[in-house]
Structure 1
Amino acid sequence: MSATDVPAPVRPAYGAAARAEWERRTNSFTELAKQVRAAGLNDRTPGFYLALFSGLVVALAAALAGHVLLGESWLQLLIAAALGIIFTQFAFLGHEASHRQVFASGPANDRFGRLLATFFVGISYAWWMTKHTRHHGNPNQLGRDPDIAPGWVSFTDEDAAHATGFRAWITRRQGWLFYPLMLLLGLDLHQASIRRLFRPGQLQGRGIELTLLGVRFALYLGMVFWVLPVGMAFAFLGVQLGVFGLYMGVSFAPNHIGMPIVPHGVKLDFLDKQVLTSRNVSGGWWATALMGGLNYQIEHHLFPGMPRPGLRHARRLVRQHCARYGVPYVENDLGEALTIVVRYINDVGWAARHSFMCPAAVSIGRG
């Protein structure tokens, strides 16, 4: 199956038994959801999230204290790298709050998520929520999933072929540049958030987000430039942003890149839509800690409100269910997943190189 073409499950044109089997498969998610509820996997786990949040606050306080105590030293770059990791872990927790995984109350999750995203991570919660909700509704679907919209990286041959200027230069080399570009992801998330907050139009929580972001950057940047000389301070911020962006990219890229892309307008049932376009990362508890639960991407997409501790238990039920109904379930270790990501991005860039060299040949080949 091509990574850029996922046909919808074909409904049999004749035969009552065949049609009944097709309907049983497409409606089977209800059966799976009942098993998950019976196992209590959607129950809130406040103790886990309290311990996780407390641990991250302690780690952040320790890193900032070390920053002040160490003073003018190039060893500060190690603290900058640690902060990049800590901020990413706060982002994982904010992601879970946005999915109502932390508290039973929706407003409580939103308040907590907004605090985590703006004050601890430095990005707009409302901007990210709008984008991420669209992604979950139609993962990897052309024209509907903003995560595969044309940008500095192209995810389809067509987008790559239409790239122009400097973006075209990057597209042709994007396989090699993919992870270096991730070093800039943190800076891109910050600037995109600020631009959205100042753009006209309705946006929930705009005032409080601008306030929290302003306080966050004033305190953080003020501390960095107070402790370090200007050149070292910029190096500190560069390392922190680079580690944050790379860590975020490495954690999110394996989830869907290189998995089938759904053509615009194609209709899939919920189970197929979420499972066929998602990839799990194996590794057990260490992968869960490293990726904030994103390693169970299939289960997360099927049950987005499920707390992190329940995902590994749901994996067994989902794998059994997919095997029973013939739904492909993809799981790779992290090294394999990252290799697949780079290979896929490189293939798209390779297609772009050929299209730039001979557009007519590419057009004939696709026709």
Structure 2
Amino acid sequence: MDGSRPIVRTRPRDTARGGASTYTELAQQIRDRGLLRRRYGYYWTKLIAAPLAVATCLLVFVWIGDTWWQLFTAAVLAIVFTQIAFLGHDAAHRQIFVSGRWNDWISIILGDLLVGMSYGWWQHKHTRHHANPNRLGSDPDIDLPVIAVTAETAARRRTPAIRWMQAHQGLLFFPILLLEGLSLHASSVRRVVSRGRLERRWAEIAFLAIRMIGYLVLVFLVLSPGIAFAFLGVQLGLFGFYMGIAFAPNHKGMPVVPHDLTLDFLRRQVLMSRNVRGGRLLDAAMGGLNYQVEHHLFPSMPRPHLRRAAPIVAAYCGAHDVAYTQVGLLTSYAIVVRYINRVGLGERDVFTCPLAEQRGAIGPAVPPR
């Protein structure tokens, strides 16, 4: 199916019986095809390339000097930092090494030291998202500070400014993403200095301080103040925008699950996720996040195997009457924008979703036209 009108049909009995065995059968097929095997050559190449790419960009930055041409350097750095963040995402999901400790430290080095994003903050947030995608009260990714992606969030409008933004959020969605880079850095700093359990707190604080302070010092040493602020604006803006457009198609505009509804693992991950069709260039550009269904079913699957797993998962879901949603890239953005626009305008029933009405069945879930 093309995903433009995903019809999700899950009977109540499927959520109570047979769910575990249904996933186990699929997992065995994936395992038998070797798609959970590590890809050390692939990842070591990327791990070596990541610091070399950053070092090269910074050397070019110093060599070019105080000129407005540095805005092109800022754009390149935004792309490099986003690609490194994707690699850190892979490590955090244990896709690279067998050792959890090795994966953790790689995530900290890539995230905190090279990109300026706290691994501990991201892990805490992202783990909850994977456990309950699009579930009310459980998924932090549907409880955003500015954009409302559920009717419940929209109903909590606070200030007049927030109310105005949410009423126009379909139009403002992509411009707001330009602020996402600054938000990611701020959230990371807030997490490492706040109370609460955080493993390797001092390592994260040290790496974030080196990355952020050292980066700012270098920028203002090489560039005059006006060009420096423009450079930082372009780099942070494009970094946040790139991160946002890579993650936005994954779940926004898919059915939202009531907090008290129980679904088996297969349906909980597949029905709330959306894949984005494309070739290998899109795979590289989106860091494998375009295979969101497969990633949610098998978080530790190495990124290169997601493309091979997709047709297996799609066929399996088809055989078990589980909707497998897949659309083109531009279609995915259109669905997201139309959906959040309707939420922002106060439409409570954005989907026709008998999930709650039938007490256990997900019925026609039709993205807004």
In the superposition, the TM-score normalised over structure 1's length comes to: 0.90
The residue number in structure 2 matching 1:154 is: 148
Among 247, 262, 265, the residue aligned to 1:252? 247
The residue number in structure 2 matching 1:210 is: 205
Once the two structures are TM-superposed, the CA of residue 24 in structure 1 deviates from its matched residue by 4.3
The residue number in structure 2 matching 1:10 is: 12
User: CA contact under 8 A between 2:94 and 2:100: conserved in structure 1?
Assistant: yes
For 1:108-123, what aligned pairs fall within 5 Å after superposition? Answer: 108-123=102-117
The residue number in structure 2 matching 1:344 is: 339
The residue number in structure 1 matching 2:131 is: 137
For 1:149-228, what aligned pairs fall within 5 Å after superposition? Answer: 149-165=143-159, 166-228=161-223
Deviations 1:131-170 (A, max 9, x none): 0000000000000000001420101123213212121111
User: CA contact under 8 A between 2:134 and 2:142: conserved in structure 1?
Assistant: yes
Provide the secondary structure at the position in 2 that maps to 1:52.
Answer: helix
Taking the aligned partners of 1:326 and 1:247, their CA distance within structure 2 comes to: 34
Provide the secondary structure at the position in 1 that maps to 2:155.
Answer: helix
Taking the aligned partners of 1:137 and 1:281, their CA distance within structure 2 comes to: 21
The residue number in structure 2 matching 1:358 is: none
Give 1:126's aligned amino acid. Answer: G
Provide the secondary structure at the position in 1 that maps to 2:261.
Answer: coil
User: CA contact under 8 A between 1:141 and 1:263: conserved in structure 2?
Assistant: yes
User: CA contact under 8 A between 1:7 and 1:262: conserved in structure 2?
Assistant: no
Structure ranking higher on relative contact order (CA contacts 8 Å, 6+ apart): 2
Taking the aligned partners of 2:72 and 2:144, their CA distance within structure 1 comes to: 35
Q: Which runs of 5+ in 1 are unaligned?
A: 13-18, 354-367
Q: Percent identity?
A: 50
Taking the aligned partners of 1:152 and 1:294, their CA distance within structure 2 comes to: 23
The residue number in structure 2 matching 1:333 is: 328
The residue number in structure 1 matching 2:263 is: 268
Correspondence 1:56 to 2:50: yes
The residue number in structure 1 matching 2:311 is: 316
Among 60, 70, 73, the residue aligned to 1:79? 73
User: CA contact under 8 A between 1:276 and 1:329: conserved in structure 2?
Assistant: yes
Once the two structures are TM-superposed, the CA of residue 321 in structure 1 deviates from its matched residue by 0.4
The residue number in structure 2 matching 1:232 is: 227
Once the two structures are TM-superposed, the CA of residue 104 in structure 1 deviates from its matched residue by 1.2
Provide the secondary structure at the position in 2 that maps to 1:162.
Answer: coil
Taking the aligned partners of 2:117 and 2:26, their CA distance within structure 1 comes to: 35
User: CA contact under 8 A between 1:8 and 1:268: conserved in structure 2?
Assistant: no
Give 2:297's aligned amino acid. Answer: L
Correspondence 1:106 to 2:100: yes
Deviations 1:237-275 (A, max 9, x none): 010000000000000000000011101111100000000
User: CA contact under 8 A between 1:7 and 1:266: conserved in structure 2?
Assistant: no
Give 1:10's aligned amino acid. Answer: P
Deviations 1:259-306 (A, max 9, x none): 111011111000000000000011121111001010110000000000
Provide the secondary structure at the position in 2 that maps to 1:351.
Answer: coil
Give 1:120's aligned amino acid. Answer: L
Matched residue count: 343
Taking the aligned partners of 1:54 and 1:342, their CA distance within structure 2 comes to: 38
Taking the aligned partners of 1:244 and 1:7, their CA distance within structure 2 comes to: 38
Give 2:64's aligned amino acid. Answer: L
The residue number in structure 1 matching 2:29 is: 35
Provide the secondary structure at the position in 2 that maps to 1:27.
Answer: helix
The residue number in structure 2 matching 1:360 is: none
Give 1:315's aligned amino acid. Answer: A
Taking the aligned partners of 1:150 and 1:90, their CA distance within structure 2 comes to: 24
User: CA contact under 8 A between 2:9 and 2:321: conserved in structure 1?
Assistant: no
Correspondence 1:286 to 2:281: yes
Taking the aligned partners of 2:269 and 2:288, their CA distance within structure 1 comes to: 16
User: CA contact under 8 A between 2:19 and 2:266: conserved in structure 1?
Assistant: no
Taking the aligned partners of 1:323 and 1:112, their CA distance within structure 2 comes to: 37
Structure with greater helix percent: 1
Taking the aligned partners of 1:74 and 1:211, their CA distance within structure 2 comes to: 32
Taking the aligned partners of 1:142 and 1:215, their CA distance within structure 2 comes to: 38
Give 1:153's aligned amino acid. Answer: I
In the superposition, the TM-score normalised over structure 2's length comes to: 0.89
**Higher mean C-alpha displacement, 108-117 vs 45-54:** 45-54
User: CA contact under 8 A between 1:197 and 1:210: conserved in structure 2?
Assistant: yes
How large is the RMSD of aligned CA atoms in angstroms?
Answer: 2.0
The residue number in structure 1 matching 2:356 is: none
